[in-house]
Amino acid sequence: MRSRRSNLAVPGSNPKMLDKARGLPADQIFMDIEDAVAPLAKPDARKNIVAALNEGGYDGKVRTVRVNDWTTKWTYADVIEVVEGAGANLDCIMLPKVQTPEQIVALDLLLTQLEKSNGLEVGRLGIEAQIENAMGLINVNAIAAASPRVETIIFGPADFMASINMKSLIVGEQPPGYDVGDAYHYILMQILMAARAHDKLAIDGPYLAIKDLEGYKRVAGRSAALGFDGKWVLHPDQVAAANEVFSPRQEDYDHAELILDAYDYYTSAAGGARGAVMLGDEMIDEASRKMALVISSKGRAAGMARTSTFTPPEA
Ligand code: GLV
Ligand code: MG
């Protein structure tokens, strides 16, 4: 699984920012031709993006381009120009405002043709699906299942708040007047369930108050606690915060690796072929192994190193 703790948004209309992104420690960069780019600037944005991808320098990062959604006039040309121009240096296409599984299938078919006609391995390009309105959320399960290319399901809070008439202008913050919980909980959980049911990553969207790092961490901490895999970053300062919030803490990572090793040992013939055993003060069993595997996978994907090892007891 590719780590996507921090997903850096860069407007394709800004070559300086496309260049600067090369040096930032984000797990993913997505180059935008959609809402961060004015209609008149979209043709140039496509060209800047193709040039930047082919020039390279994004090593170790997932390279994604966000095209315009299927209800506009731009989508097909965005996809064709970017994949024909730089398909070999691209990992995913992000499709915003997805409303139906058919919209994913349409992109899948177009990508397959482009891969065939450009000598690319069929299936090498992934799809990232943004859920940004009521129809998309109602269909999120089918959207996640619509193509094996789908790698992530992404919450788009700004468009979503507008789409459902939420009474707030501050993305990520609670709407004034709602004081009994988290107004986003239902949406986040629906996205997370669809992602987990179909083995996709669940990604939280932007936090627009870029000067408020504490606010960013608070909101990121909520989706991370639920099980989300990462969040968008709009500013270099948010990158480290996202990487920290969406990585396991070192002690949790060490403990997860310890549980995996201990469980492996105790269930083996040498360890007595036991299913439930004590590890320190805690009882571990098959469900503990699964929980540990989640933390350990996230830690390994983030390149963490363990600081302790399991020593089997003397026979
Ligand atoms: C992102 O695209 C959003 O609408 O929040
Ligand atoms: Mg949006």
Cβ 85 under 6 angstroms from ligand 1: no
Residue 314 has what pLDDT? 75
Cβ 126 under 6 angstroms from ligand 1: no
pLDDT in tens, 200-244: 999 999 999 999 999 999 999 999 999 999 999 999 999 999 999
* Best probe residue, ligand 1, of 132, 163, 203 (max atoms within 8 Å of C-beta): 132
Task: Write the DSSP assignment of 105-149 as a string of letters.
Answer: HHHHHHHHHHHHHTTPPTT-SEEEEEE-SHHHHHTHHHHHTS-TT
Cβ 166 under 6 angstroms from ligand 1: no
Residue 168 has what pLDDT? 83
At residue 215, φ and ψ (nearest 5 deg) are -60, -45
Assess whether pLDDT exceeds 70 at residue 281. yes
Cβ 159 under 6 angstroms from ligand 1: yes
At residue 230, φ and ψ (nearest 5 deg) are -175, 180
| 259's tokens | 């549980």
pLDDT in tens, 159-168: 999 999 998 8
Assess whether pLDDT exceeds 60 at residue 310. yes
Cβ 69 under 6 angstroms from ligand 1: no
Percent of the chain scored above 90 by pLDDT? 89
pLDDT in tens, 53-82: 999 999 999 999 999 999 999 999 999 999
Residue 315 has what pLDDT? 56
pTM of the model: 0.92
Residue 253 has what pLDDT? 94
- Whole-angstrom CA distances from 186 to 50, 134, 189, 192 are 38, 12, 5, 10
Cβ 11 under 6 angstroms from ligand 1: no
CA distance 238 to 222: 16
Alpha carbons within 13 A on the beta-carbon side of 302 = 26
| Closest ligand 1 atom to 206 CA | 5
Residue 302 has what pLDDT? 86
Q: For residue 265, how far is its CA from the centre of ligand 2 (angstroms)?
A: 48
Per-residue confidence at 191, pLDDT binned at 50, 70, 90?
Answer: very high
Residue 31 has what pLDDT? 98
Cβ 101 under 6 angstroms from ligand 1: no
Once rounded to an integer, what is the mean pLDDT over residues 266-285?
Answer: 91
CA distance 75 to 144: 20
Residue 14 has what pLDDT? 98
| Closest ligand 1 atom to 232 CA | 1
Residue 1 has what pLDDT? 59
Per-residue confidence at 122, pLDDT binned at 50, 70, 90?
Answer: very high
Task: Identify residues whose C-beta is under 5 A from ligand 2, the ion.
Answer: 132, 156, 159
- Whole-angstrom CA distances from 258 to 211, 217, 245 are 39, 28, 22
Q: For residue 279, how far is its CA from the centre of ligand 1 (angstroms)?
A: 44
